[in-house]
Chains A and B, each alone.
Chain A
């Protein structure tokens, strides 16, 4: 059965429609990333699923119940990390978790939650003196302390440095292997790609694409070959196939092509003729970023577009 069902869900704030007629289902155990720019309706959608506010119209079911009417027993089965951190600075990490653990019927041991969140070294540190990344992981530890069946993560890594983001990812990946259904919002395509099995792209409150990282990658277009000429003076000697790809700076070649081998052969023989070392040559993978931007700019997405 589905952990989450949304049918024709719309949410209006005054005259502004934050979420417009959105329908989707999340099967048990799936890791769904809801991706979109600021203002796309990600948090509004998530907060409806978490029970903070009812939809203006449409039907929501989370673990079989209407989230806005979900009682204590229902709330004990979901875990969440809000968009902004929400912790008492005066308590230690361990005391904070013990306080929340006391609310659930079968909580995870505090030490285990600390371990999963990668906070082992900070167990007896007061939350107020932790770094932003560490606090986010305390939020995450609170989110999982009750052994939730569904975990909602609202931009858990926004504003974290790359190292802190990796650590948070590792903690989330730990959980995903336990079969917990996870819904994560993010505006980082690489985060959705790294963590999720399915990606829902929201733009202007509507579902712009319902896809997977692999399909998005397949849509991403050709790879890019970049090479900066050591001596711009030889630019006029470029073969006809490469010359049109010279950028306005007169020395950078940026070639997007499906025929990588052909382009490289051409480039290699050109290099041989002019005794170039080809140092700094780059072959970049298809850009997910571009595929994502294409989708949210409203261009047709062949995979499962639903409105």
Chain B
């Protein structure tokens, strides 16, 4: 009764035998992906507080710096909101889903495995881009299209288009990277401290929250990390004139490399099963000889 089950053609998938209606087909990956993205977004909205930090914190910082006077660091605050959404909020959510057994359940279902990742990363990218866009919109409302920085800086339609691309690339880079990192985080309790411990040193040396007088080697290093190229490209988007590119190629390349590299590492190291102290169902961990457990 399973004659066709092992062939790889779509006809075989369709011809999955037995009691199923003979014409029933597996749903197309595109349909599954759309459903996954919708599910992930609903899941995020159900936990509104995790979104509030990425969208709310930059707004608070912007309003506070309006009170202080001077030129706002719009690109830095937008980067802050975006990265905290794509890195910390998403990373914690992913670890929680794994530790609660949700990922294991998905893995055993007919959902293609890449579809779960793709749904989560796309939904996260959407919300992270929204977080960055809200920061920019608030800055425009508070300071106008020149951000109080003189005539040389202006937010135009071209800037909006460039920012959309830069934000999308950056969100993908951070979300992919954190997907890879979650495999070394053993529990939900460990997720926030681990992710924060990586995040804050990185954004501080990258000058997200304030500028540093960096030694040369450090500025070389941060130019290869995913925060500084994002700020650089975002700042570039509001400059106009001869020789100013739409998006600096090097910044785009660094972000794209983080997105692709993170995803590759994630595919290799990703774990679907919760860490279990009892361990008998833990597939990856070798376990010591303890015949009394399990």
Contacts and interface: CB of A to CB of B under 8 A. Distances in A.
A109 interface: no
Given A38-B294, A64-B5, A86-B101, A15 B288 contact: yes
24 contacts: A13-B280, A16-B287, A39-B292, A39-B293, A43-B281, A52-B107, A64-B6, A65-B2, A65-B6, A72-B26, A73-B26, A75-B108, A76-B26, A82-B101, A82-B105, A88-B43, A102-B35, A103-B109, A104-B110, A105-B24, A105-B25, A105-B26, A106-B24, A146-B110
Interface string A82-110: 11111110110001000110111110000
A91 B42 contact: yes
Contacts of A147: 19-20
Provide the main secondary structure of the chain A interface. loop
Contacts of A16: 287-291, 294
A105 B31 CA distance: 12
A15 B108 contact: no
A148 to B, nearest CB: 10
Contacts of B35: 99, 102
A76 B283 CA distance: 22
B146 interface: no
Contacts of A179: 19
Interface residues of A, number: 49
Interface in B67-108: 100-102, 104-105, 107-108
Nearest to B107: A52
B32 A1 contact: no
Interface of A: 1, 13-16, 18, 38-39, 41, 43-44, 47, 50-53, 63-65, 72-77, 80, 82-88, 90-91, 95, 99-100, 102-106, 142, 146-147, 149, 179, 204
A72 B9 CA distance: 12
Nearest to A83: B281
B18 A53 contact: no
B279 interface: yes
A88 B102 contact: yes
B112 A52 contact: no
A85 B108 CA distance: 14
B141 interface: no
Nearest to A1: B1
B95 to A, nearest CB: 15
Contacts of B280: 13, 18, 39, 43-44
Nearest to A75: B110
A203 B287 CA distance: 19
Given A84-B101, A88-B102, A99-B39, A52 B294 contact: no
Closest 9 A/B residue pairs (Cβ): A86-B101, A64-B2, A90-B46, A105-B24, A106-B24, A15-B289, A39-B294, A86-B105, A13-B287
